[in-house]
């Protein structure tokens, strides 16, 4: 089960965190993985996969830039000949209420979290539609399903990801394309570590416990747990699943 042999998968923002965990797991399951990120972290993930016997290649790509995305996906199609899976994982965060959010903050998050998903999905569809098959998986958030304090701009963008997911699913279900999204609660990633260092340099462990306690299960999730759900949704075992938002939240939505 969950065999991705002979499948080509693109994972954006796969230099670290959830994206890296997805790329590593997909490669372990037999996929040829293309890792997209802004910097050399993509190379590090690809090297880690190669060291374990997996097949991966790294490409620098700014998902917010139309020309960059178009050139990257055109190059992937020319080099590899097809594209079976796109995981739109690249994203950035912002902490603050509407009062603490500037127009520049909103534009910055829109560029990556919304326009980036749009550009990559559109570029992937241009490759997938002539094939007659393909899977797009977007990374949303529980912030697209419930109110999360002090996440105004971030929640706005993840709500858009959720609705883009449903729109792609309904528009292309008859043409062999599936599209779903994952809605995580707090996940222990380098972003969380950086957030704690920046905002609570003298209280990191105390605030980490606060973040853990937000989930009724008593801890944050791990990138590997999100990757396992991504594997299911991108595998042939999920062939009957499209247009859905899957929470992975440690019980937040049920509390």
Distance, first Cα to last Cα, the chain: 32
| Domains present along the chain, CATH in parentheses | 8-185+221-248 (3.40.50.720)
As given in the structure block, the two tokens for residue 208 are 């980490």
What is the predicted pLDDT for the residue at 198?
86
Concatenated DSSP letters of 52-96: TT-EEEEEE--TT-HHHHHHHHHHHHHHHS---EEEE-------B
Report pLDDT for 191.
83
φ, ψ dihedrals at 247, nearest 5°: -70, 145
- Secondary structure element (H or E) that encloses residue 10, with its range: strand 8-12
**Predicted local confidence at residue 190, as pLDDT:** 85
Average pLDDT, the chain: 96
**Pairing mode, if any, of strands 85-88 and 8-12?**
parallel
Q: What is the pLDDT of residue 255?
A: 82
Write out residues in the chain with pLDDT < 50, as ranges. Answer: none
For residue 83, give every residue at least 6 positions away whose Cβ sits within 8 Å of its Cβ, in sequence order, or none: 8, 10, 73, 76, 77, 124, 127, 128, 131, 134
Cα–Cα distances (Å) from 192 to 112, 140, 198, 205, in that order, read 19, 17, 10, 12
pLDDT, tens digit, 9 for 90 and up, residues 153-197? 999 999 999 999 999 999 999 999 999 999 999 999 988 888 889
- Residues tagged active-site: 154
> 93: number of CA atoms within 13 Å, CB side?
17
The kind and range of the H/E element at 9 are: strand 8-12
Measure the CA–CA gap between 14 and 60, rounded to whole angstroms: 11
């Amino acid at each position: 089960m969950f065999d991705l042999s002979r499948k080509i998968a693109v994972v954006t923002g796969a230099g670290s965190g959830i994206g890296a965990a997805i790329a590593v797991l997909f490669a372990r399951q037999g996929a040829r993985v293309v890792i997209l990120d802004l910097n050399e972290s993509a190379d590090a993930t690809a090297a880690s996969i190669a060291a374990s016997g997996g097949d991966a290649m790294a490409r620098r790509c700014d998902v917010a830039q139309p020309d960059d995305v178009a050139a990257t996906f055109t190059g992937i199609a020319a080099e590899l000949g097809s594209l079976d899976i796109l995981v739109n994982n690249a994203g950035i965060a912002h902490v603050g209420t509407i009062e603490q959010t500037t127009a520049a903050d909103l534009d910055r998050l829109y560029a990556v979290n919304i326009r980036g998903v749009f550009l990559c999905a559109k570029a992937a569809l241009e490759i997938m539609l002539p094939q007659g098959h393909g899977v797009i998986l977007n990374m949303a958030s529980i912030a697209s399903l419930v109110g999360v304090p002090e996440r105004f701009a971030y929640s706005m963008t993840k709500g858009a990801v959720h609705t883009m997911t449903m729109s792609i699913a309904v528009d292309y279900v008859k043409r062999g394309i599936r599209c779903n999204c994952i809605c995580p609660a707090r996940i222990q990633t380098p972003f969380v570590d950086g957030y704690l260092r920046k905002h609570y340099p003298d209280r990191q462990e105390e605030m980490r416990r606060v973040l853990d306690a937000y989930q009724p299960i008593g801890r944050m999730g791990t990138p590997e747990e999100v990757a396992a759900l991504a594997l299911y949704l991108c595998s042939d075992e999920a062939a009957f699943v499209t247009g859905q938002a899957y929470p992975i939240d440690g019980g937040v939505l049920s509390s």
